[in-house]
Structure 1
Amino acid sequence: MAYYQQNYQHYQQPSQHYGGYGQVLQRDAFACNAWQALGFNSPNELQILFDQSVQSNEQNRMRRAIQSEDLVGIMNNSSEIRSFFNINWSRELCKVMVAMLDRSGDGFLQWEEFMELQQCLIAWYRMFQTHDMDRNNKADANELITVVKNQFRFNLSQECVTTLLKRFSYVEPNGRCVLSFDDFVTVCVKLRALTDAFRRRDQQQHGQETGTSTFGYDDFLRCTMCL
């Protein structure tokens, strides 16, 4: 828990500008044992998967970390992880998830960051399941975006909600607007990563949170294009 407290102490407290999303992560994600929730018999089994990917090439070994390609393999080839989430993890989504937690900016995921990712995914999946009544990996998009806004407590305007729906949901032939779990994860990952980046710059520029920040062109591209 010390690792998470160290990396999240900045936004554990709710903000009038950004909401209370940090508190939700502390309560729902960081409190669970990922290996147990995923169905492994011990935490060592999950670490073995990670370590095997670390040993797959020299660059990984140098950093004791994995890349997005390695994450794709772990997520899709582990029977426990596949059974729990029941989806095929795409290369693009794995790249986005690595970028969310890549605090060093080298494109690699350390063990602690890998475990943090698993815990966040479990929390998001449990929330998704409460709206996926027929277990077909689809749920009502309006309900899920409401979850992101009200239960995950991101401070989103209605205009922003509409933008998220247009970008990530799709309409079925019967007219129902739905969101798949992997798209739901993408929404959660991007919201968290971009909110963190914006909030951090706001604090640094003003000495306190104001809800505003100034971005140079290059800085803006680096913040957004990495996701």
Structure 2
Amino acid sequence: MNEELFRLVSGTWTPFNPVTVRSIISMFDREYKGGVNFAEFTGVWKYITDWQNIFRTYDRDNSGLIDKNELKQALTGFGYRLTDQFYEILIRKFDRQRRGQVAFDDFIQCCIVLQKLTDVFRRQDTDQDGWIQVSYEQYLSMVFSVI
């Protein structure tokens, strides 16, 4: 049911990444039942619509996919300052179709993961200088709290 719902909400009727579906559902599932009721669904609908507008803004060639340069423009617009090498890593990680570009649902997943990792990092970066020192186990705990 959830995947069909997300096909409708995406406006493309293409299969949504199941990981993205679970991530979004978990954000709006206030009763922790693994799904959303109608009231929660209205939040999901607005969330997806907002992401569609963002995606369309940065999908400059209207291909329905975001390439590395478009991803860089989007994330820079969100305040991230990352190297070109890191954008290559993001494309490899979130390009399920192996075309060197990221689809709409994978773009959402990329942004969700990046934001969660940033939040976890910032909690450790108490002096806000962009550097942290953590043990290996702390690092693993930070990463596994996100994935």
TM-score range, shorter chain: 0.5 to 0.7
The answer to whether the Cα contact below 8 Å between 1:148 and 1:188 also exists between their aligned partners in 2 is no
Equivalent residue for 1:146, pick from 72, 80, 86: 72
Say if 2:136 is the partner of 1:217. yes
Q: Percent identity?
A: 20
The Cα RMSD (Å) is 3.4
Higher relative contact order (CA 8 A, sep 6+): 1
Pick the aligned partner of 1:124 from 51, 54, 63: 51
| Aligned residue number for residue 4 of structure 2 | 76
| Structure ID, larger Rg | 1
Partner of 1:29: none
Contact 2:3/2:18 (CA < 8 Å) preserved in 1?
no
Aligned pair in 2 of structure 1 residues 162, 91: CA closer, same or farther (>3 Å)? closer
Unpaired runs of at least 5, structure 1:
1-72, 172-176
Report what 2:21 is aligned to. 94
* Alignment CA distance shift 1:213-1:144 (3 Å): same
- The Cα shift of 1:88 comes to 2.5
When the two structures are superposed, what TM-score results if normalisation uses the length of structure 1? 0.47
Counterpart residue type for residue 7 of structure 2: R
Q: Partner of 1:181 in structure 2?
A: 104
Tell me the matched-pair count. 136
With structure 2 as the length reference, what TM-score do the two structures score?
0.68
Distance 1:118 1:216 in 2: 40
The correspondence of residues 1-227 of structure 1 with structure 2, limited to 5 A, is 73-74=1-2, 76-77=4-5, 82-85=7-10, 86=12, 87-97=14-24, 101=27, 119-130=46-57, 131=59, 133-134=62-63, 138-169=64-95, 170-171=98-99, 177-203=100-126, 208-225=127-144, 226-227=146-147
